[in-house]
Structure 1
Amino acid sequence: MIRYVLPLAYKQATLEMVGGKGISLSKLLTAGIPVPDGFNVTTSSYQIFVEKNHIQPHINKLLDGIDFNNTSQLEDVSTQIGILFHNGEMPEEVSASIKISYAGLGNIAVAIRSSATLEDLHDASFAGQQETYLNIQGENEVLAAVKRCWASLWTARAIAYRVKKDIKQEVVALAVVVQKLVFSDASGVMFTLNPINGRRGEMIINAAWGLGEAVVSSLVTPDTIVVDKNLERIVSYEAANKERMTVRTSDGTEEILVPERLRKKHALSWNQVMQLTQLGKKIEKDYQMPMDVEWALEKDKLYIVQARPITVLPPEWVLPEKGVIYTKGSLAEHLPNPVTPLFATFGLEIVNRASALLWVDMFGKSAKKLMPENGAYTIINGYVYLSAKSKPLLIAVKSFSPQSLRRVLTNSVTRWEAARKEFEFVIKQWEKKLLYKLNSHQIMEGIQTVFYASCIYFTRIQLTLPAASISETLFTKLFRRTARRIGMTDTSVFLFGFDTIALQAEKNLWSLSEWVKQNSTLNLYLKNNPSRKIAEDFMSSVMPTEVLQDVWIEWKNRINQYFKDFGCTAYEFDFAYSTPQEALTPTLESIKTFLEGKGESPFLRQFTFEKRRKQAEEKILEHMGSARKKLFLKLLHWAQETVPMRENAIYLMGMGHPLIRRMFQEISERFIRGGAISHLDDIYWLTKSELEALIEQVDKNMSLSHMSGIIPARKAEFQKYLGYVSPSKLPEKNKKTISHLSRKDGKIVLMGIGTSAGIVTAPACVLNSPEDFEKFQPGSVLVAVTTTPAWTPLFASASAIVTDIGGPLSHSSIVAREYGIPAVMATRTATRKIQSGQMIMVDGSMGTVTFNE
């Protein structure tokens, strides 16, 4: 017998019959959780409606051959499917069953919610994919709302989500939950773990006035309550300014302004928070997993209206050692992504060895009191953190003693040049060696030597970079007021236009593009082909037929010379990442941008800044007395000498990476020949001990251990880590973490540090690595975890910069100010929250990034 309608409390209900939401409510009722009364319209009702109105064949035809990545196509198809459902006739047996069950509720106002068969599962929540309709009253209105729910199975976002999850479109079906509408005085959501920091012992409750729609639709910033669920005590209660609320009207719902007296008042009392906590603990225990729960409060009675598993569990950021502070500073800032197994077990060991010398140099005998057991750098959930025992007074005394300051601030440029020459010497010594003549142990020795030199270079520049930061800060602080009096709003004009290595590289690419314009066949070829195709042709022994042979040879020679002069750098300090010499597409994209006239001439930009700088110097000197003028010139020359040094020093951090990558490649090729691995880059997914064992086997002509089988799991774990939002500091405080993101007027507002003024609204382009450079569209907002000097060519065509980490003196900030585009740093989550193509507003003065959810 076909059941078209079932009571919510029907214990034999299955997922296939009532969908995820229906089965969840049935489970809650069975466990004694207070759930509003109601019934399920089963999937059988949906199926007979679709069958009798011949809808599925039309859907299949509409979906056949469309581009599922094309939003406008999906929206158009979705609209056409919606019309099919609207015009479809409800079968008599279905409508009669619904009318009888609705009458049994007393013909009252109800909430009607979609309940898909693939919804609220432990690995795919489908949250927000289908529709909910509130305050529906009258049997005809209920029937119409049920049809609208059925149609919402075919919204553009629901179709796209199923494609992403590789779920066949023809197997889905939809049930509908019809429930008594709770006339909520307050409502909200509850997570039975802390989704911000992953702490399993904490719950977070969001609460606002009125119906819950304002909270789940982000129309209001709710109160945020953090609860210690084991001790059942409130850790913190942040009362938001709740400006709007959803209320019931005669024909639905509407958003109204909250009365002034209630806006900052707590939406929940202590007793109500404790009741919710107890309900949350019971639900979590019954489901045996963390849950996302929607609740409503009516006349001091709490109801649970929905509960679903939290499908993506945030990590718990467990500290490796007590009494230690972990930050994303120093070298960790140049390792913004999770690190590969080889860097974690081999590279970081060398980093810590070099860092230990720096600490002794900086802190003397006190280094032991500050250094954690794991070393200066450690890994938490795949991410590298700088760590130190929490003795801030000792660090301050040692770091800011007159002797330490004098050593750090004097002769910084000379000391940097000496460090660079020593680093270059090591690289040149190993570049002379023919790798194929060395055994694997010898090549490994070379890798260790060159990477250790990289780390020593980094520790050496740590004692030179502060001079640049302090000189700029002092100069700005002392002369900002004078500059403003004569109409200068930004003192950074005094520090722009210098010939850094990054600028020299950009000028080289500009000159190369100007040469290309003089060769029509090459110019046309570069404009008409994507960068990946050009890169493939470049690496091939067969030249493209549309370009003259002598021009192609000259083109390759010029590109190779560019990499010889400027390719000795790295996008990221983990040596598993390709260098500019290997990843040709970013360089080619920069050239194509110049060819298409979308990038400003770096020569003209430098000339303009030099002119402005000299004019500014002359102007400000006219308004100074002789004593102050002397101080001004001394600080100005110091800043102008050290600030370019900072950019050059960081640019060369990865100078050894191209050689290290070639040496790893030589070893990797030997592993592939022996059957140990399948691809060149597989070597980076091995651990140090596994690598050393294979090297031993290769050099002794033994059969190699097969390692390919373990690599997919490690790559999957890396992808899991990549989805985490790594806190900038551990341990972190709840208040600081929660306040980093807010909602206003239905929009998400990410708060960071404004480091370059201006306001721009433009589509975002999220770049996770240099491999994504070819996706960048001129005029887009560049969104990245961080950037290094090797990213500079992109700034010429970006409208604004947004990063997860960084500060006013980071590379991204400095270059953004020089290019005159807005920049917001330290948003923490921009690369996770923002989608490429999404319109965002970047306010570099306020330090905010605003966009629709």
Structure 2
Amino acid sequence: MSALRSDPVLPIGRVLGLEKVDAGMGELVGGKAANLGELIGAGFRVPPGFVLTTETCAAVCPVDDLIGDLPGSAALIRDRITSAELPPDLVGAITGARDELGAGPVAVRSSATAEDLPHASFAGQQDTYLNVVGTEALLDAVRRCWASLWSDRAVAYREANGVEHAAVRIAVVVQRMVDAHAAGVLFTANPVTGDRAECVIDASTGLGESVVSGAVTPDHFVVRGDRVSAQPGDKPTSVRAVPGGGVETVAQDSETASIGEAQARELAEVGRRVARHFGTPQDVEWAIGADGLWLTQSRPITTLFPLPAESERGLRMYLSVNVAQGVYRPLTPMGAATLGLLAAGVLRELGIPSPDSRPAPLREVDGWVFLDITGTTGNRIGRAVLPRLLAAAEARTGRVYESMMDDPRLPLRPGVPWRVLRGLAGVLARNRIPLLVAGVLRDPARAREEAFRRVDELRADLAAARPVTARERLDAARHALRRTTAPVMAWVAPRMMPILLLSRLLPKLTGASEAEVQVVLSGVPHNVTTEMDLELWAIAQRLGPDVDDLAARYRDRDLPSEVLRGLDEFLARHGHRTAAEIDAGVARWSEHPEKVLALVENYARTGSAGHDAVQRFRAAADEAEVMAAEIVARQQNRPRARFTAWLLNRVRNLIGMRELPKYCAVLGIAHARRHIRGIGAELAESGWISDPDDVFFLNYEELSDVIDGADHHDLIATRRETHARELRRKHLPRLLLSDGTEPETLLPQQNSENTLRGTSASPGTVTGTARVIHDPAHARLQPGEILVAPSTDPGWTPLFLTASGLVMEMGGPNSHGATVARENGIPAVVGVPHATTAIPDGRTITLHGSTGTVDL
């Protein structure tokens, strides 16, 4: 390799014709050239050529002195490179390698080391020059390719994807030009739906430049097996090579076909072979000349959502647990393992068999947790019940689920699902759930008192553990989840579920409209999250408007004693909470009080400006009582009126407790995190891991191995890279099929140009400034502004006290955000597709909570 590194020009076929190109070679020749070399080594037809290495550009045109001033210095860097004089020996090497290719034009393509990364393809960020003729034109194209590494778009793309400018270098690929009569792009998986079983081809006549540049609407082919679906494009022009060099755009008959169905099948088969070689779906550029098909580039499709490993046969359907829990970010490996351990413990407490580590239906991939719900599609009970449950938690998910019920790959089994019925009956009988429900409805105050007593006992039991060694801490973390938290959750959850069901049935049982029921469910008492938010609001009002440097003043204990005492007590009681709190790998408020103090600052300022969150909550409760009385008054007879009054009273007095199961879960997760952090500190001090937080990139078994002396540095580094990549992912599917298809992409678009449609979650209409927020930490929301978020969990809800409305991409009428919005008396629309991108930050919008629409 050292000899090769001294050579500025490397022939593709001889040096890069390897079955697999190692990382060192990739750094020397860039992503594009490395992939072309692998294609040659695997036997695919690639035009012959050579590569000017990354070392060549760095030696001829050093620009390190200007990188620190980017992006402002980009133009200076480009000017330096394009005006550089190439050394005579380099010119000789280039022309000599060019002569070996024989007569005829060449294509000159950039090949950067940052290309074709797992999380970003950098497609089109650097330049390509086609039909280059003559030595001067070739040398000029080489310089321009080098300079394109520093184009404004390439610099901005690297910054957006977290790639260091100084770490990127560029090589140049020179290949014999294919005089193509058809060319285009082949995706070995459908880039829109995610379906790995489909190949998608965009093709046009002439050179492929017209396709990749978007100059024409190409012919579009979808190939599934041997079946080809063709959609002719609008191709009034074609890009052709000019005999003297360069290309031109010429007019042509728009109906001219680029390729036939047989060629589409051939391309798809070649594409599948390419994907098998690289082990991942590929984006392949190709050209067909007089001498057949040539591949000119292959890169991974970086936009596809990762798929869980699957051992079951046939098509599987997965429900996103992240979406259901309002966590629009990947979990850490320890976070996913903790969630699985806790879920398995709850199921076992309910008498449902489950493996120790996680329930069998749970799937995890790269921090995204899914539940395999394929079994529900095969029986009538599942098909009837699940959409209704989903409609309450995440409305659009229910519609997406129902849209798949006609798919022949998810057949409905005939007959009565006796096995399902017997299993359900067994769980109900074993846990005496009918009796529990009757007891809760008969005496809600007693049931509520008992539930909160058990929560207090859980808190005390968790705090009692005092492990010392790493092994003891690991055992304590597991015990906190499986033996301490899971039993309390299994006790509380069955008592809360019937109340949620009754709340969904209120319109039918009382004759009230959905909007009226939402009013009745506003300002409800006994919600631990709402009470937490109001407690923090009360603390903030003791400060007044003087809140500068609040974090520093709290750290220095330079605040009024009543404020300090209030904040200390708040963190002692609620410090286990945070945004994305179901992830044990996420720091708690108690660890970073500045997140809470930022909320206190905002509360203090808005309170001083006249906004009163407590008064708004009380007003919502008063309005609910009035609406409940109206519903009772219009009942047809006295027995029905008494029943309606009884029912509304029970639901209002119990629905606030819907938060308790999750509250218990987060208590357990936070205490498990405390023990795991202690292990991290001990292992980092002894050198077994590099950073205390490395423990959150292992699961419990792997952490146990490290305690026993295993070296997992490489595994941790890989997991950290994966987590960082997935944090940049901007879209999360509600449902996912095991072939990669995202069913929601198959639904017709509901939004119009000026109106977005979702699901009504809290009634009322409000007009205000949209504030798009992706992370609640340090976010400031002024009174009157409408919060627009991908999803929310309890860590977000302090923002609700100042928001005048809520719009969420995810969620349903009974999701956390919807419930807290109602309780705070603010209009809300949830399940609005792409809300955070369709609604510009700062735009004035009108939110119609009762109809589930947002006017832009």
TM-score range relative to shorter protein: 0.5 to 0.7
Which of 613, 616, 623 is equivalent to 1:602? 613
1:333 corresponds in structure 2 to: 325
1:791 aligns with 2:796: yes
SS of 1:380 mapped into structure 2: strand
Within-5 A mapping of 1:381-530: 381=365, 383-387=368-372, 389-390=375-376, 391-395=378-382, 398=421, 417=448, 420-427=451-458, 430=461, 433=464, 435=466, 448-457=482-491, 459-461=493-495, 463-467=497-501, 469-471=503-505, 474=508, 479=513, 492-493=518-519, 495-499=521-525, 500-517=527-544, 520=546, 523-526=547-550
2:658 corresponds in structure 1 to: 649
Check 1:780–1:187 CA distance in 2 against 1; reply closer, same or farther (3 A cut).
Answer: farther
Within-5 A mapping of 1:60-139: 60-64=64-68, 66=69, 74-85=70-81, 113-116=109-112, 119-120=115-116, 126-132=122-128
Q: What is the identity, as a one-letter code, of the residue corresponding to 2:530? A: L
1:701 corresponds in structure 2 to: none
Structure 2: how far apart are the matches of 1:321 and 1:233?
A: 25
User: Given that residues 110 and 126 in structure 2 are in contact (C-alpha distance below 8 angstroms), is that contact kept between their aligned partners in structure 1?
Assistant: yes
Per-residue CA distance 1:695-731 (angstroms, 9 max, x = gap): xxxxxxxxx9555843773474366367568764464
User: Given that residues 282 and 300 in structure 2 are in contact (C-alpha distance below 8 angstroms), is that contact kept between their aligned partners in structure 1?
Assistant: yes
Per-residue CA distance 1:80-139 (angstroms, 9 max, x = gap): 33344556678899999889979x99998x865323366457898543331245788999
Structure 1: how far apart are the matches of 2:233 and 2:766?
A: 29
Q: What is the identity, as a one-letter code, of the residue corresponding to 1:420? A: A
Which of 177, 184, 188 is equivalent to 2:185? 188
User: Given that residues 99 and 139 in structure 1 are in contact (C-alpha distance below 8 angstroms), is that contact kept between their aligned partners in structure 2?
Assistant: no
Per-residue CA distance 1:792-828 (angstroms, 9 max, x = gap): 013456798776753343123445675446644576x
Shift of 1:276: 0.7
Shift of 1:735: 5.3
1:555 corresponds in structure 2 to: 563
What is the number of residues matched between the two proteins?
763
User: Given that residues 107 and 129 in structure 2 are in contact (C-alpha distance below 8 angstroms), is that contact kept between their aligned partners in structure 1?
Assistant: yes
Structure 2: how far apart are the matches of 1:731 and 1:436?
A: 43
SS of 1:205 mapped into structure 2: strand
Unmatched tracts of structure 2, length 5 or more: 18-24, 386-416
Structure 1: how far apart are the matches of 2:96 and 2:646?
A: 84
Within-5 A mapping of 1:197-346: 202=197, 204-207=199-202, 216=212, 232-234=225-227, 237=229, 247-248=238-239, 269-284=260-275, 291-296=282-287, 302-308=293-299, 315-321=306-312, 326-328=318-320, 333=325
User: Given that residues 341 and 685 in structure 1 are in contact (C-alpha distance below 8 angstroms), is that contact kept between their aligned partners in structure 2?
Assistant: yes
Which of 801, 805, 812 is equivalent to 1:807? 812
1:627 aligns with 2:636: yes
Shift of 1:602: 1.7
Per-residue CA distance 1:641-673 (angstroms, 9 max, x = gap): 637844542256224744774577469758967
SS of 1:294 mapped into structure 2: strand
SS of 2:344 mapped into structure 1: helix
User: Given that residues 307 and 740 in structure 2 are in contact (C-alpha distance below 8 angstroms), is that contact kept between their aligned partners in structure 1?
Assistant: no
Check 1:584–1:137 CA distance in 2 against 1; reply closer, same or farther (3 A cut).
Answer: same
1:587 corresponds in structure 2 to: 596
Structure 2: how far apart are the matches of 1:16 and 1:789?
A: 45
SS of 1:789 mapped into structure 2: coil
Check 1:63–1:758 CA distance in 2 against 1; reply closer, same or farther (3 A cut).
Answer: farther
Q: What is the identity, as a one-letter code, of the residue corresponding to 1:204? A: C
Check 1:371–1:406 CA distance in 2 against 1; reply closer, same or farther (3 A cut).
Answer: farther
User: Given that residues 754 and 844 in structure 1 are in contact (C-alpha distance below 8 angstroms), is that contact kept between their aligned partners in structure 2?
Assistant: no
Shift of 1:419: 5.9
Structure 1: how far apart are the matches of 2:123 and 2:73?
A: 21
Structure 2: how far apart are the matches of 1:5 and 1:763?
A: 53
Structure with larger RCO (C-alpha < 8 A, sep 6+)? 2
Structure 2: how far apart are the matches of 1:274 and 1:615?
A: 67
Per-residue CA distance 1:617-661 (angstroms, 9 max, x = gap): 89x879x97639997997698568637844542256224744774
Structure 2: how far apart are the matches of 1:8 and 1:810?
A: 56
Structure 2: how far apart are the matches of 1:143 and 1:93?
A: 13
SS of 2:126 mapped into structure 1: coil
Structure 2: how far apart are the matches of 1:840 and 1:301?
A: 53
Unmatched tracts of structure 1, length 5 or more: 67-73, 361-366, 484-489, 695-703
1:697 corresponds in structure 2 to: none
Q: What is the identity, as a one-letter code, of the residue corresponding to 2:76? A: Q
User: Given that residues 317 and 372 in structure 2 are in contact (C-alpha distance below 8 angstroms), is that contact kept between their aligned partners in structure 1?
Assistant: yes
SS of 1:76 mapped into structure 2: coil
Shift of 1:314: 6.2
2:411 corresponds in structure 1 to: none
User: Given that residues 191 and 292 in structure 1 are in contact (C-alpha distance below 8 angstroms), is that contact kept between their aligned partners in structure 2?
Assistant: yes
Q: CA RMSD in A?
A: 6.4
Structure 2: how far apart are the matches of 1:580 and 1:124?
A: 33
User: Given that residues 471 and 638 in structure 1 are in contact (C-alpha distance below 8 angstroms), is that contact kept between their aligned partners in structure 2?
Assistant: no
User: Given that residues 510 and 601 in structure 1 are in contact (C-alpha distance below 8 angstroms), is that contact kept between their aligned partners in structure 2?
Assistant: no
Per-residue CA distance 1:55-97 (angstroms, 9 max, x = gap): 63xx433323x4xxxxxxx342213333445566788999998
2:412 corresponds in structure 1 to: none
Check 1:467–1:392 CA distance in 2 against 1; reply closer, same or farther (3 A cut).
Answer: same
Shift of 1:567: 5.0
Identical columns (%):
21
Shift of 1:590: 1.0
Q: What is the identity, as a one-letter code, of the residue corresponding to 2:127? A: E
SS of 1:128 mapped into structure 2: coil
SS of 2:124 mapped into structure 1: coil
SS of 1:187 mapped into structure 2: strand
Check 1:27–1:813 CA distance in 2 against 1; reply closer, same or farther (3 A cut).
Answer: same
Which of 757, 772, 778 is equivalent to 1:774? 778
Structure 1: how far apart are the matches of 2:735 and 2:674?
A: 36
Q: What is the identity, as a one-letter code, of the residue corresponding to 1:354? A: V
User: Given that residues 188 and 272 in structure 2 are in contact (C-alpha distance below 8 angstroms), is that contact kept between their aligned partners in structure 1?
Assistant: no
Check 1:568–1:443 CA distance in 2 against 1; reply closer, same or farther (3 A cut).
Answer: closer
Structure 1: how far apart are the matches of 2:591 and 2:55?
A: 58
SS of 2:187 mapped into structure 1: strand
Structure 2: how far apart are the matches of 1:683 and 1:31?
A: 40
Range that drifts further, 793-802 or 810-819: 793-802
Check 1:42–1:353 CA distance in 2 against 1; reply closer, same or farther (3 A cut).
Answer: closer
1:720 aligns with 2:692: no
Shift of 1:680: 7.1
Structure 1: how far apart are the matches of 2:129 and 2:724?
A: 36
Shift of 1:559: 0.6
Range that drifts further, 381-390 or 504-513: 381-390
Shift of 1:421: 3.1
Q: What is the identity, as a one-letter code, of the residue corresponding to 1:189? A: L
Check 1:621–1:478 CA distance in 2 against 1; reply closer, same or farther (3 A cut).
Answer: closer
User: Given that residues 799 and 821 in structure 1 are in contact (C-alpha distance below 8 angstroms), is that contact kept between their aligned partners in structure 2?
Assistant: no
Structure 2: how far apart are the matches of 1:841 and 1:184?
A: 51
Q: What is the identity, as a one-letter code, of the residue corresponding to 2:501? A: A
Structure 1: how far apart are the matches of 2:262 and 2:303?
A: 30
